[in-house]
Amino acid sequence: MNTKSVLRELEREHKQLVHAMRLPDSVLTLESRSEYKHFDLSFARELIGMDQPWGSEDVFDPKNRIMTEVFMGSDEAKQLYYASENDLLRKVKETAADQEHKGPYDIFESVFPVRVRGNVIHLLRTGKYRIAPFTEKDLKDLAFFCNVPLKQVREAVAVLPIYTPEQVDDMRRTYGRLRDSIKLAFREHIRLMEMTAMQLQNERLSALGSLAEGMAHHFNNLLSIILGYSSMVLDRAEVRGETSEAIRKVTEAAQRGRRFTEEILSLSESFTDEEPTVISLHERVQGALTLMQARLKAGIQLTSQFAAENDRVVAPQGIIHHIAFNAIANAIDSMPNGGRLLIKSENITTEERGARRDFVRLTVTDSGLFPLRKGKSQTAEDTSAEERLAPKLASLLGQVASLDGTVTVKSEKDQSTTLEITLPAATAADESAPQKRIRRRLAPSRIWVADDDAVMREMCQRVLTEEQHEVEEVTTGHEFMSRFENEEERPELLIYDFSMPDVTGLEVCRWLREKGHRLPVILVSGFTPDHPEIKKTLKLRKTFLLQKPFSFRDMSDLVTIALGETLIEEAPLV
């Protein structure tokens, strides 16, 4: 290969090396793009001073004149210069360590790479310097080798700094501290941008959650009608053969839809005022997996090993649902191209001050993009899995901590990230809860149904009329309150849509009790009994919950119980 070809290859390699470790190229490569998704390039350029009159390699031109004006004079000198520069840049790229490089003619330069999230995104360079002046012979040799006039060499050398060893040490310490400050500023900037993006995402998710909640309520109304009429036909009509099997399949599909909407509603519920109850961790995990079936099909191999015999924990149901959902969602997010997802549970026992304490541990392991580096100590240059996941897991950490639990992130076999969530297991005392005991008598039959959905009112009327009840329909909460105050023939049972737009079920029940009325009220809602507002309402006497979607038999049985109740006694607390 001739000199021209070698020189072209060296120049090409030099350009690639420089741009691979300089903004913006260093943060726009395919491998690092996800790491700097929220990176603000304008801020970064301002931080490192790229808008200043520096040279093409981010060094001040005066210090670099001997390279740009002297070594560019002949092909042989250019080849020597680029070979030396490429050797320096390759070392930086391979090691990401500070370099003190000795180039041709004892011309030194110190380079300090700025490494953020495992990638070198900028080089902080001191510029060229020597630790001893050139001799006259050196100048003449340089002029001859580079094929430039001696006068030009003298002018370039005149601005090349000469440093003592002490000055070199001081300069390196100063540049090292500057590099560390720039790196810290970059890391905090990325973290701030990620948190800002997460806040915007949370706002969008909150709006989406409200939309999903509303859709789930409407869907529950449709399912209630499907389930109510199909179950009524199966219960009352003499249907056989294919017709019976077809209706049964419709009923089963509606039941599956019921479970699906329950998961959506439990995820969208606010749990700030929710009271702790005994929850099955396995059920919550299975519920979260149900909601993410579509994402799991995208090349992700799921394995579940639920070995915990006691999977029950004491917590607000909404918190456990969010913990399970966030843990699994974060694992799936780290595998955009597919991978392996392992979900395990186990019971562990610890002993503190002579007392044994049982825990249930949920382990979520993914073969994602950001494993820890096993066997390597974490330094300021490294970014741990905890740091990468911290913004995403911030809410989960707080939720687990509120339950006296712990969260651990670790690496296994350098190919996966494992999230361990450990929560106190429920005890036998926790399982004991006050139960309502009822006594029944013959049910009166005057029932008012208050719902803003005409189809729901019609379905309830059909079901209750067949049970020989006298049914009247009410369309709004205010209409019910007005008629209840002014009509002599008051209902003996009220079936009320809990999410009525003008007066909620809680408000209606409180209004009735404040006025001294002991009217039994069945609240119809897609929310679970653990929803904070539902819980407040059910604490009032003679209130019941009929959860959407419901079958004909569900409504019939609960109406019988509500109308037959004469006394509710709370079992004594243990």
CA distance 33 to 255: 44
Q: pLDDT confidence of 188, banded at 50, 70, 90?
A: confident
CA distance 496 to 508: 9
If you average pLDDT over residues 207-218, what whole number do you get? 64
Strands 355-366 and 339-352: antiparallel
213: Cβ contacts below 8 Å, ≥ 6 apart: 264, 265, 268
pLDDT greater than 50 at residue 373: no
Q: pLDDT confidence of 370, banded at 50, 70, 90?
A: very low
In 432-551, where does DSSP find H-type helix?
454-466, 477-486, 505-514, 532-538
Q: Report which DSSP code applies to 279.
A: E
pLDDT greater than 90 at residue 206: no
CA distance 80 to 86: 10
Predicted local confidence at residue 394, as pLDDT? 63
In 96-164, where does DSSP find H-type helix?
136-146, 150-158
Question: Both tokens of residue 20?
Answer: 């691979």
Predicted local confidence at residue 325, as pLDDT? 82
Which range of 136-140, 198-202, 242-246, 355-359 scores highest in mean pLDDT? It is 136-140
If you average pLDDT over residues 425-438, what whole number do you get? 62
Predicted local confidence at residue 355, as pLDDT? 78
CA distance 105 to 156: 14
CA distance 157 to 146: 14
Q: Tell me the CA distances in angstroms from 372 to 191, 391, 409, one per residue in order.
A: 19, 17, 9
Q: pLDDT confidence of 266, banded at 50, 70, 90?
A: low
pLDDT greater than 70 at residue 399: yes
| Predicted TM-score (pTM) above 0.85 | no
Write out pLDDT tens, residues 293-311. Answer: 767 766 788 889 999 999 9
Segment among 149-163, 290-304, 386-400 with least mean pLDDT: 386-400
CA distance 477 to 494: 11
CB 464 within 8 A of CB 417: no
Predicted local confidence at residue 571, as pLDDT? 38
Predicted local confidence at residue 422, as pLDDT? 92
Short-list 399, 418, 400, 421, CA closest to 409: 418
CB 522 within 8 A of CB 448: no
If you average pLDDT over residues 3-7, what whole number do you get? 84
The CA angle 303-304-307, to the nearest 5 degrees, is 145
Higher pLDDT pick, 341 / 317: 341
Say what percent of the chain tops pLDDT 90. Answer: 23
Strands 119-125 and 108-116: antiparallel
Predicted local confidence at residue 300, as pLDDT? 85
Write out pLDDT tens, residues 272-286. Answer: 445 678 888 998 888
Strands 493-497 and 521-525: parallel
Predicted local confidence at residue 375, as pLDDT? 38
Higher pLDDT pick, 52 / 313: 313
CB 302 within 8 A of CB 341: yes
Predicted local confidence at residue 209, as pLDDT? 59
pLDDT greater than 90 at residue 360: yes
pLDDT greater than 70 at residue 40: yes
